[in-house]
Each structure stands twice: as C-alpha cells, then as structure tokens.
Amino acid sequence: MRIRMFSGVAAVLVLAFVTGCGDRGASTGADAESGGPDRPDAGAGPPTPAGAQPPGDPWPDRHSEYHDSVGDVPEYRAIQAGLARGWNTWDSRDVLRYVLLPEGLAVDLAIKRHAWLEEGYLNDALIGRRGDDVETIRPGVHALDGSYMRLEIDWQGLAATVEAGHAGGDLVVLVTPGGADSTEFVGQNESAMADNDQKSPLVGQNRPEMADKSGPYELIVSAGLAWNRPGVVESTEGGPVARLPSGSHPIHVIGTTERDPYTETLLPHRIVRLDRPAGISTGRPRTLVDIRAALAAAEQSLHARADRYGALADAYLAITSGIAWNTIYEPRHDRVVSTVGRLWNQEYGGVALFGWDNFFLAYMTGLDNRELALANVIEHLRGATAEGFLPNDNRGNGSKSWDRSQPPVGGIMVREVYRRYPEPWFLEAAFDPLLAWNRWWPTKRLNEGLLSYGSHEARNPFDEPAVRTKTTAGYESGMDDSPMYEDVPFNREKNTLELQDVGLTSLYIADCLALAELAGLLGRDAEAVELTDRARAFSEALDELWVEDRGYYLNYRTDLGRPSTRRSPTLFYPLLAGVPAAPRAERMIREHLLNPAEFWGDYVLPSTTRDDPSFPRQRYWKGAIWPPLNFLTYLGLRRAGAYDVASELSQRSLDMFVSEWHRKGYVSENYSSITGAGDDERLSSDPFHSWGALFGILAFIEAGHLAAPEGGL
C-alpha cells in the first residue's frame, strides 16, 4: 500500500478498522493519543509544543497558545483529574454513548429498524438535529455528575425512553419502548425472555403517520475504547468484556437476544429486541428489577438536590440539565468543559468555546458545582490568542477567530465566580489573562475616543474567508445581524464598524471596575489604579452620547456624525457600568425599558424595539429574546437600585424558560418575543443551547441562592 503526497497538500490515510470507538469500528485501543489514564501527567493536558512549526508544514499547531495565558496550576490540575471520573455522556458526538473516565471505555447504543426494504439504522443521536427521518430527542433531567439522566427518543416510528445512571461505580441503563411499562417484564425470568420470540404490538403503533416506517426494532449495545485509550474489549458468550489497565469490566445486556450479522458496528456487541424494556449493566450482573431500583434511587437523589431550592426546584433541574447535557470530555486537551451545544461542537471540529457564552456557563455552573465552575473559567482563558484577547470562538480542530473577540464580560463573571468560591489560586490564575484582554480593547477597537466592534488582519492558517469585514465585526458583537448594524459601514483603516457602541463601551467599563476590585485583592495596586482610571475616562466619554430629548445613551455613527436611531437592550448596559446619575437611569427605565411600544410586554426583552421594522421577522437578533440581553440588563437594573423592575424581569424570564422546559424539554438559544416559544417557526434557534439557562438563573439571585452582583467582594 502506498500513500501519495500531492504537491502542496498533505494527505492522511486513516486505517479505521482498529481506531477508537468514535467510528464504532474497533474493539482494541492503543497508547492514548491524548493520554491514557495511566500516564504520569493524566489530567494535566498535553504539554505545549516548544518552538515554531517546521518550515513548510501545512498542518497548523493545534496545541499552540493553549497553555500560554494560564500555565500549569497544580490546584487546577487536581480539579480536572477529579472531574474526569466516572460514567457520563462525555463524548460530544452522541447522547446515547456512555463513557467511563479516565479509562475511555464506551458503552454505545444504536437502533436498527427492519423493513421489507430500506432498513433504518440510527448510529448516533444528538439533541436538536434537523433533517428528514432524523431522530427527535426530548431531553429530560441530567445530573452534572452523570448519576442520573433521562431522555425520550422518537425515530422512524419508534418511541422510547432511555434512562441511565450510576449503581455505585457501575453504569446501569434502561431502554423502554413507547407504550411499554418498564415494570411489566421485570418479574420474568431473563432466560425466558431470551427464548420468547413473540413480537410486541406496541412498537410502531404510537406514530400512525410513521406506519410505513414501522417494523421490528433492535437495540445494538456495543463496547469499545474512545480516543485510542489502552486496553481491549472482547466478545464473550456472556457479552462484551473490557480488559483495561484498571481491571476487567463486563457489560451485561438483558433482553430477548437477536443475532443479526448485518449491523453497522465492528465492535463487540449484543443485540436485543426493542419490543419490551431492555437493560444494561456493567460490573456485576443485574436483573431489570435491580436496574430499575438503582435508577429510581439515583433519580430520587437528584430530585432531593433540586428540592433544596423549594419553588425553584424545576428551574434548578432545567438549568443544571441544560448545562449537563452539553458538558463533555474534550480529548485534545484532556479536559472536562461545558459547551453551548453538541451540534455546535460537531460543526466546529469537535468542541466550540465562545467568547462570552462560556463565561456565562461558568457562572451558572457555580450554582451547584465548584469544580466545574472553576474549570470552565480556566479552560476558556487558556484559549486566549497571542495578542492577549479571548476570541469569538475556539474550535476543536485547533482553529480560532484570531481576527476578532466578543463582548468583554470576563471580568464581570469571574468576579462573581470568585465571590462564590474565593480561592486565591483561582484569582491569581485568572487575573493576568483577563487584564491582557482588557488592555487589548483600546489598542484595537478605539474609534474616535469610544469603542466599536471590529475585525482586523491576523494570522489565518485555516483560511477563514470573511476576516476583516463587516460580517466578522458583527460576530465580534455577539449580536451578528442586529438591526443596530444595518447600513453601518465597516472602515478597513480603523478595522471597526463606524458605530461608537454604547453596549460595548459600557461592558468594558464594568469589566475595568470588576478587575480593579480583583487587583485590589491581589495587592496589584498599580493595576487597580490603571483600571480605575480607564473606567473613569471611558465613563466620561460615554456620557457624551446621552441624548437629552430622547432620554437615552444612543450609539453614534462616526461616518455620519449623528446618533443612530436603531435600538436594542444593549442601550441599558450603562446602568451596569454605573454611568448614568439617578434621574437619567429613571428615565431610561420608565420611558424605554417599561414602554410596551419599545421593550416591555408579556415576553421580554426583544432584541430590537417592537416598533422597529425588522421586529416582525423575529429571526435571530431581529426581535427574538436572547439570554445575555436579559441577564446583563437585569444586572444593570440591580446596580441602579431598580429592584422591583429587576424582579419583574426575572419572573417573566423564569416563566418563559420553565414553560418551554415543561412543554418540550428545551433550553433554547433564543425565544420569540411574540409567542414566548423557543420553537416558533419564525426563529432561528438551537433548541438546546446551554446559555438559555440564563433566563432561569436570575430567579436564584432574586431568592438569595447566588450573591447579589451589586454587592462588594
């Protein structure tokens, strides 16, 4: 066999027969590419390669810049090692794949539909996937530690509930087809079940419109080693057995056994009929009664944690589940990290961390999980560029947006995480990367004395086509196609939009003030003075954008020399920065925020005013309700002392959020400001995007479960 190298292009031959279980094509592992559980530095992540890339090497350095901003922190290394333990939905590519860390042992569920022609095969499952004949997942509760999780799946005529959780250190799974009672067969002798060849009338009848798709269904339970971890999985008479450095791990499958040589897996597996409940257990053999009891105990424990929050128990479950389903193990850097969504990870080369999104995720995980909150901050900061800024996105393939950042909320959110978990090592590790990012903004985005979003010429090893354009400047704003930016030109000499941005400048001032407080705690007096002076200077400049006859701070068109009349909730961010005096703050709230012709209504806050010509579209930032806008406006209201209005905004956000969770199991990327639904047909909204949980987190501040952000350190 020969590998041809074409001029200027590196070709790679992948031998899939014995790779990791990501392609469901192997039963063996080898020395781990990203480190196995037995290597000396497990949990620390791969070392940063020294030196530059070899001349002429066409492959970008996928580890470059990763450690530079934070370095190796022993306390943090211990946290990551503790997080990467146990069974969970760690693999971003499939919510029906359960992985044991640090070993990498994966137990994988696939479904096959038999028919007279065109049989169906569901190889992997994701929440919110679109297309013909794809699976529909209704996510349920999911504990952050993987101790209990539940989802409902609808695929080509089959409806089933899948529960999974922990029984001690073992994994237990119960798959119940639609219409079947998970307790109906638990008294039967398992060997009798294996000999029962009768087909259940239940499967395929729950969806009449899918009658032509219905037929016998099989559950294929396979086992392999993810990410090329060391060990071997053997097929034995009793089922797959994994032999790993940590010991043997048998996988037991309970159900009516089938033998089908035409499954699409090369891994050791067991096949059972899906005409009745099927069970899976690692470690010791268990009956369906045992599995159901273990899952019931795990579910009860999760609900007991939720009940600590009283009337907010359902909100707690929605928030933590919204984050848990999207918390993954990322093998390139050997880390556990929360992400906005698995579909985004798939599109962005395996994992996607976004500039402001991931700071919000860190704050929300702090409600109930110290280790994950701290990890989410540190991992995000490790993605800073060599210029010192946090990029719009960090991608699993090693690429990132070297030309643009996103709104500067890092200092604001890290301050809140530190207030909840005041650990000196964390503050010391986070401060310098945040300071570098803060210093970057005036050097790259200053536009005639105030800040504007932009995009500049930078290294571009992956040849992203749209850099240094109005499009990428919009991406930097985090509000990609907001009406605020319609008709605003991009100045390629300034590398910014011709719009002095009230929202950006206000967030920057708030970031300066938050970092100044943190600098004081660290004894960094010079930096505290620097940050305070910078906040004061930008506050004075921003104050010039107040338009008295409008009762607003308005964005300013530097190309036209006049204020812009297109408005969004970002115009309330000066409240968060503490810029307006009380009379101005009262006018902003009374005349605009509470004005039903602009922002107020049953469903709030729309991303553009209700009287804007783009509002009826509701698509993306043209009228939809977005989590960060409500969240940051809420923080500003509290700082301004408008507690009654803040409380009402919190309640309306919570009602919309919990209603969608109860109705669909969704934690949506954005919601309609006309119907309050996250699946309104006018929207462009990921139905399961973790930052949607910001709508619910406000209520936990209101109830005192999280510290009031206007309070001191």
Nearest to 358 by CA among 392, 396, 332: 392
Residue 546: count of CB within 10 angstroms of its CB: 19
- What average pLDDT does the segment 429-433 reach? 97
pLDDT number for residue 180: 58
Q: Which tens digits make up the pLDDT trace of 527-543?
A: 999 999 999 999 999 99
Q: What is the dihedral of CA 609, 614, 617, 621, to 10 degrees?
A: -60
Task: Kindly state the helix (H) or strand (E) to which residue 106 belongs, with its residue range.
Answer: strand 105-113
In this prediction, residues 658-667 reach a mean pLDDT of 98
CA distance 215 to 209: 13
pLDDT in tens, 435-480: 999 999 999 999 999 999 999 999 888 899 999 999 999 999 999 9
Q: Stretch 377-393: mean pLDDT, rounded?
A: 96
240: left (phi over 0), alpha (psi -120 to 50) or beta: beta
- Provide the mean pLDDT of the chain: 89
Place of tokens 């037995």: 38
Q: Is 70 left (phi over 0), alpha (psi -120 to 50) or beta?
A: alpha
The pLDDT > 70 percentage for the chain reads: 86
Residues 6+ apart with CB under 8 A from 145: 86, 88
Supply the DSSP symbol for 670: -
Task: Round to the nearest angstrom and report the end-to-end CA distance of the chain.
Answer: 65
**Residue whose tokens read 């499939």:** 94
Closest CA to 229 of 501, 503, 38: 38
Q: How confident is the model at residue 117 (pLDDT cuts 50, 70, 90)?
A: confident
Rounded Cα–Cα distance for residues 595 and 130 (Å): 37
Nearest partner of 513 among 709, 366, 705, judged by Cα: 709
Q: How far apart are CA 41 and CA 335, in angstroms?
A: 12
Instruction: Identify the pLDDT of residue 356.
Output: 98
Cross-strand partners of 488: none
Residue 500's SS3 state is strand
Tell me which architecture the domain covering 85-305 has in CATH.
Distorted Sandwich (2.70)
Asked if residue 212 has pLDDT above 60, the reply is: no
pLDDT (mean) for 293-309: 98
55-59 long-range CB contacts below 8 Å, 24 or more apart? 58/8, 58/9, 58/10, 59/10
Average pLDDT for 678-692: 97
- pLDDT band at residue 70 under the 50/70/90 scheme: confident
Mean pLDDT of 10-19: 30
pLDDT band at 140 (very low <50, low <70, confident <90, very high): very high
Rounded Cα–Cα distance for residues 401 and 478 (Å): 13
pLDDT (average), residues 119-146: 96
Residue 323 tokens read as 């984050």
Strand partners, 86: 101
Question: What mean pLDDT do residues 159-178 have?
Answer: 97
Q: How far apart are CA 482 and CA 568, in angstroms?
A: 8
Q: Is 710 helix (H, G, I), strand (E, B) or coil?
A: coil
Average pLDDT over residues 11-30: 35
What is the rounded average pLDDT of the residues 174-198? Answer: 55
154 sits in the region (left: phi over 0; alpha: psi -120 to 50; else beta) called: beta
Task: Report yes or no: 233 and 223 within 8 Å, Cβ to Cβ.
Answer: yes
Identify whether the C-beta of residue 333 lies closer than 8 Å to the C-beta of residue 340. no
Residue 564 has pLDDT above 80, yes or no: yes
H-state helical runs in 445-568: 470-477, 502-522, 525-543
Between CA 461 and CA 398 the distance in angstroms is 10
Helix pair 643-664, 313-324: axis angle to 10 deg: 70
Q: How far is CA 357 from the centre of its chain?
A: 8
Write the pLDDT tens digit of every residue in 516-531: 999 999 999 999 999 9
When pLDDT is cut at 50, 70 and 90, the band that residue 118 belongs to is confident
pLDDT (0 to 100) of residue 37:
33
- Is the pLDDT at 272 greater than 90, yes or no? yes
Confidence of residue 69 (pLDDT cuts 50, 70, 90): confident
Q: Please check whether residue 477 is in contact with residue 485, taking contact to mean a CB–CB distance below 8 angstroms.
A: yes
DSSP 3-state of 375: helix
In this model, does residue 16 exceed pLDDT 70? Answer: no
249 has a pLDDT exceeding 50: yes
pLDDT confidence tier of residue 53, bands split at 50, 70 and 90: very low
What's the chain's Rg over C-alpha atoms?
A: 26
Break the chain into its structural domains and give their ranges: 85-305, 581-713
* DSSP helix, strand, coil percent of the chain (3-state; round to 5): 35, 20, 45
pLDDT, mean of residues 226-233: 97
Contact predicate 319/29, CB 8 Å: no
Give the C-alpha separation, 594 to 579, whole Å: 20
